A and B are shown apart, each in its own frame.
Chain A
Amino acid sequence: MAVLMLVAVACSNNNAGNSASSDSPSSSAPASASAAPSESAPAVAEGPLAKYDPPIELTTVRHQNSGVKFMAGEDWDNNIYTRELAVQLGIKLKNNWVVDDLQFPKKLSVSMVAGDLPDFFEVNLQQLQLLVDAGQIADLTEVYDKYASDLTKRSIEESGGVKKDVSSFGGKLMAIPLDGGGRTDAQFLYIRNDWLKKVGLEPPKNMDDVIAIAKAFANDDPDGNGKKDTFGLSLDFNLFNGWSGVDGFFNGYHAYPFNPGGPNSTGLKLVFMKGADGQLAYADIQPEVKTALGKLQELYKAGAINPEFGVINGEKSAEIATSGKVGMTFGATFVPSWPLNDMVANDPNVDWGVYPLVSADDQPVKALSNGIVPTRYMVVNKKSEHPEALIKMLNFYLEVNYGESRDEEYHTHTEGDTVFNTFSYAPVQGGFASTNIDDGQAVIKALDSGDPSALTPTAKVYYDNILKYRGGDRGQWWYEKTFAKGSAYDLLFQYQEGDKFATNEFTGSPTDTMVSKASALRDLQVQTFTRIITGESLDSFDKFVENWKAQGGDAITKEVNDWYAQKHAQ
C-alpha cells in the first residue's frame, strides 16, 4: 500500500498532473497475464537473462525520496537487487552517487559538464533530447531487438507503441521508457456525499448540476455550523493539477487546457488537439475554454471558490479541504489515498464519493489524459561496453515482478508493521500502465464471488484491505475508493471501455520556441485565467489569445505541426 501512497505524495507536489502511478509496480501483472515469458529458458550466453561470466561491473547514479527505507544492514549498494543481479546475471552494480529526487537533474547536469557519466542512468525528456543531440548515449535498437524478453517488449510497446515512439529518434531506440502509457491523470469528480444529503441534492448529471452543487455547498451551510465558511469547489494557484485542479471542469465543456500555474511548473507540457482543419492547435486558446472560464467566474462570484485560491499551493488547498471547508474537487486516481484518506479515517461522518466527469451538453464528456507520454527514461552511456546489460536488467526486473517466476520479495518485504518497497531498490524499473486497472477489475470480481484465489499478491493486498475497511477499519478507506466497484480505477476502466479519453496529440520533446518562450507564455496564461476567474471581463481571454499567438505561440504551433507532419511521414 505504501507504494501508491508514495506516488500519491509525489503527486501532491504542485503540478503533478501527469504520470501518477502508472510507473508503480505496486500494481502487478494482470491476473490473466500468464501470457508472460518464454525467457525462463536456459542461460544461453545470448539469452535475455544470460549470466555474464566473468562478471561485469556497471556504474550508475540514483535518486531517492524520503519514503525509501532499507532493512537493517542494507543500503543502495547492498540489497536484494544488487545481490541477485550479481548472482543471477553476473552484474556488479556501483552507485557513483545517490542524491535527493529534487537535486537529481541538477547533479546529473553537473556530471554531464564534467564528462563523468556512468554506464547507465535515468533522464527526463529534455535531458534525453540533449544527450541524443550531443551523441553521448548508445543506440539501443539492436540490443533491444536481440535481448529484450517478451515481457519487456510487451511493456515497452504497450499502449499502441507511444512509449517506444517517444524514446526513438530517427527510427533509433535511444532510451528505455520507464513510465507512461497510462491514463492515470484523467480526472474524476470527488464530492462529499454527506454534504449532498444535507443540501438535498443528487450527484451531478451535467455541468449545471455541478455548478448548482458548488453554490449550494458554499451558501446552504452544509457543515451545519451556522456560518458561511465553506466552499463548493477546491482550487489553488496551479489551476491544473491532479489534486484540486479544474482540468475536469474544463473537460465538461469540451475544453482541454493544461498549463499548471505554480512557480515550479515549467510551462512545457502543452496540450495540442487536432482542429477541424486537420492542424494541431493549442488547446488552451480554444473558444470552449472561454465558456468554462465564464462558469468558473460565476462560481467565484457566488462565493463557491476560495477567494484566496490564487495564493495557495496544493498542500494548502488540501489542508483546507481536509479540514472540512470544501465539498467538491476534481482530481486524479490518487486523490482517495492523498489527501482524503486521513480525513475520512479520522471522522466517521465524512463521506467522500467519486463520480465520473459530466458534460455540459448532449455531447459525451472526454477526460484529458496526458500521462501516456513517459516522463522518465533510462539511457546507456555511449562509452559503456555492455549496452545490452540495461535490457537484461529490465528483463530481470519484469520477470521477478510480473513474470512466471514472480516473487513478492522483489516487490515488497514486510517485517511486522513495516513494509519495505524492495522494488524501489532496482536500478531499472519498468511496468505496465494497465496494471492498476487490471488489478482493480480482478479485485471487483473477487469481491463479488468472495474468491480471492485468482488474485496477484498485490491485488490480494487491495482485496484484504477493502474487506478490512468494510469490517470497520476506516484507515483502509482509500482502497475501497481506489479499486472496488465504483472506485477511481473502476471509473477509469469505464472511461477506457467507453473511449472517453481526450489525448494530447503532441508527444514530442519541447520545441526550441517552447524552451525559450513557454515560461513567459505560462505566466501570461495563468495570470489571465486567474484574473478572469476572480472577476475580470471575459473579453480579456480574446486579448490573451492574441498575445499568446504574437509572443511565440504561433511559432510553437508551427513547430508542433512540423513535428507532427514529420512523425507521420515516417
Chain B
Amino acid sequence: MLWFRKRWKAELPFHMMALPSVVFVLVFCYGPMAGVSIAFQQFVPTSGLFGSEWIGLDNFQYLFSMPDTKRVIFNTVYIAVMKMIAGLVMPIFIALLLNEIGKKAFKRTVQTVIYMPHFLSWVILGGIVIDVLSPNYGLVGDLMDWFGLPRVFFLGNENWFPYILVSTDVWKEFGFGTIVFLAALTGINPALYESAVIDGAGRWKQTLYVTLPGILPIVVLMGTLSLGNVLNAGFDQVFNLYNPTVYSTGDILDTYVYRMGFENLQFGVATAVGLFKSAVSFVLISVSYLLAYRFANYRIF
C-alpha cells in the first residue's frame, strides 16, 4: 500500500501532464462518436440527433444500391493500395541513397527540397499539376514533344488518371517519409557495419544484411499504420484533380459521396459511408497489427 502511494505521488505530475490530452481526446474524438447514430437515421437537421426518425440500415442499403458504388469502392482500394506501396518503397529507396552520401550540405539540401511539397495543400498543388500536365501548354507535354513522343492528356484520360494520382501523391509525400527512415538509419549500431566490413561485406552487402534488417521494424510499423488508410484514397487530391471525364477510374468513395450527398443535405448517407470506412479500417488495422506482432515481433503498444 505504502509502495503504491509512494509511486502514485511520484507519478502524479505525469498524470497531470497527460490529463489535458486525455480530456481533449474525450471531448473531440469520443464525444462526437455519438454522431454515428446519424448513419441509422433519416436525419433532418431541424429535428436534431435525437428527434430524427430511425431507419435501421436503410442508408447502407441506399449506398450499396447506387449504380456506381461497386466501381467506386474498387477505385478507392486500387488507388489507396498503390499509394500505400509506392509511398513505402519510394522513401526507403531515397533514404538508402541519401544515407550513402557523404557530403552533409548536399544531403540536407536534398532532404529539405523533397520535403517541401508536403507542406502545400492540394488546392495549390492541384493547380500546379493541372498546369504542368496540360497537353496544350504544359511542361510535360513540351518535354514529350521534344523527345518526339505524342502529347498525352493525362488528366482527361481514364487509363492514366489513377497513376497520375499515385505519382503526384508520392511526389508530395516521399520527402516526409524519407525523414522517418533516415532517422531509423541513424539508430543502427555502427559496430554492426564495422564487423560486416571485417567479414568482407561491400556497400551492397552491408545494405542488404545490416541496414535493411535494421530498419525493418520501422518499415513494418509504417506499413501497418498505413493499412488503415486502405479506404482513404485522398479526398483533397482527387477532388482537386478529377473531372467528369475520369469519374470511371478516378472517382473514390469520398468524392462520390461528396457529390451524391453533401450538396443535397444527405447527412445520413454521408455518415453511413464514414462508419463503413471506419469499420473496414478497424478490421484491417487489427489484422495487420496481429501480423506485425507475429512475423516481425513488432509491438506498437
Contact = CB atoms under 8 A, between A and B. Distances in A.
Interface stretch (B142-150, B193-201, B256-264): B256-264
A130 B264 contact: no
Contacts of B264: 126, 266, 268, 510, 515-516, 518-519
Interface string B107-142: 000000000000000000000001000111000000
A136 interface: yes
B66 interface: yes
Question: Which of the listed residues A112, A113, A523 has the most CB atoms from chain B within 10 Å of its own CB?
Answer: A113
Contacts of A311: 130, 153, 155-156, 243, 245
A134 B53 CA distance: 13
Given A519-B259, A519-B263, A523-B259, A310 B46 contact: no
Contact of B136 (A237, A307, A518, A520): A307
Contact of A310 (B44, B244, B261): B244
A306 interface: yes
B77 interface: no
A308 B156 contact: yes
B155 A516 contact: no
Contact of B46 (A112, A519, A530): A112
A114 B48 contact: yes
A496 interface: no
A266 B260 CA distance: 8
A38 interface: no
Interface in A78-116: 109-110, 112-115
A13 interface: no
A523 B245 CA distance: 10
Interface in B224-283: 239, 242-245, 247, 255, 258-261, 263-267
A518 B134 CA distance: 31
Interface in B63-110: 66-68
A147 B247 CA distance: 52
Contacts of B259: 263, 519, 523
A110 B263 CA distance: 15
B46 A551 contact: no
A86 B22 CA distance: 47
B255 A136 contact: no
A269 to B, nearest CB: 11
B49 interface: yes
Question: Which of the listed residues B46, B48, B62, B66 has the most CB atoms from chain A within 10 Å of its own CB?
Answer: B46
Contact of A237 (B44, B49, B244): B244
Contacts of B48: 112-115
Contacts of B130: 311-312, 316
Contact of B66 (A267, A268, A520): A520
B266 to A, nearest CB: 7
A310 B68 contact: no
B297 interface: no
B244 A130 contact: no
B136 A306 contact: yes
A180 interface: no
B45 A263 contact: no
B243 A136 contact: no
Given A130-B265, A527-B245, A530-B245, A136 B46 contact: yes
A305 to B, nearest CB: 12
Interface string A104-146: 0000011011110000000000110011011010000000000
A308 B135 contact: yes
B136 A126 contact: no
Contact of B263 (A115, A266, A307, A308): A266
Interface residues of A, number: 42
A34 interface: no
Contacts of A518: 264
A110 B68 CA distance: 30
A501 B279 CA distance: 53
Interface in A312-371: 312, 316
Contacts of A551: 67
B47 interface: yes
Categorize the interface residue count of chain B: 20 to 34
Nearest to A229: B136
Interface string B152-188: 0101100000000000000000000000000000000
B239 A263 contact: yes
B265 A310 contact: no
Contact of A264 (B245, B261, B263): B263
A536 to B, nearest CB: 11
A264 B243 CA distance: 11
B126 to A, nearest CB: 10
A112 B45 contact: yes
Nearest to B265: A126
Given A515-B266, A519-B263, A523-B259, A130 B136 contact: no
B47 A237 contact: no
Contacts of A110: 45
A229 B137 CA distance: 10
A242 interface: no
A311 B243 CA distance: 5
B91 to A, nearest CB: 30
Contacts of B245: 237, 310-311, 527, 530-531, 534
A185 B258 CA distance: 27
B247 A523 contact: yes
B45 A520 contact: no
Contact of B135 (A237, A307, A530, A534): A307
Contact of A308 (B45, B134, B244, B267): B134
A237 B243 contact: yes
Interface string A2-29: 0000000000000000000000000000
Nearest to B260: A519
A228 B156 CA distance: 22
B277 to A, nearest CB: 19
A285 interface: no
Given A307-B135, A516-B62, A113 B45 contact: yes
Contacts of B136: 229, 306-308
A261 interface: yes
A39 to B, nearest CB: 35
B46 A523 contact: no
A263 to B, nearest CB: 6
A526 interface: yes
A311 B157 CA distance: 10
A109 B265 CA distance: 9
Given A307-B153, A308-B153, A109 B45 contact: yes
Nearest to A114: B48
A113 B49 contact: yes
A133 B42 CA distance: 14
A565 B45 CA distance: 30
Contact of B45 (A130, A530, A531): A130
A520 B68 contact: yes
Contacts of A112: 45-46, 48
Contacts of B68: 520, 523
Contacts of B267: 109
Question: Which of the listed residues A133, A263, A534 has the most CB atoms from chain B within 10 Å of its own CB?
Answer: A263
B25 to A, nearest CB: 22
Contacts of A515: 264-266
B239 A520 contact: no
Contact of B243 (A114, A229, A267, A310): A310
23 contacts: A109-B265, A113-B48, A114-B48, A115-B48, A131-B46, A134-B47, A136-B46, A237-B243, A237-B244, A261-B244, A263-B242, A263-B255, A267-B263, A268-B264, A310-B245, A312-B130, A515-B264, A516-B62, A516-B266, A519-B261, A519-B264, A523-B68, A531-B245
Given A519-B261, A519-B264, A523-B244, 5 more contacts: A112-B48, A134-B44, A263-B259, A307-B156, A308-B153
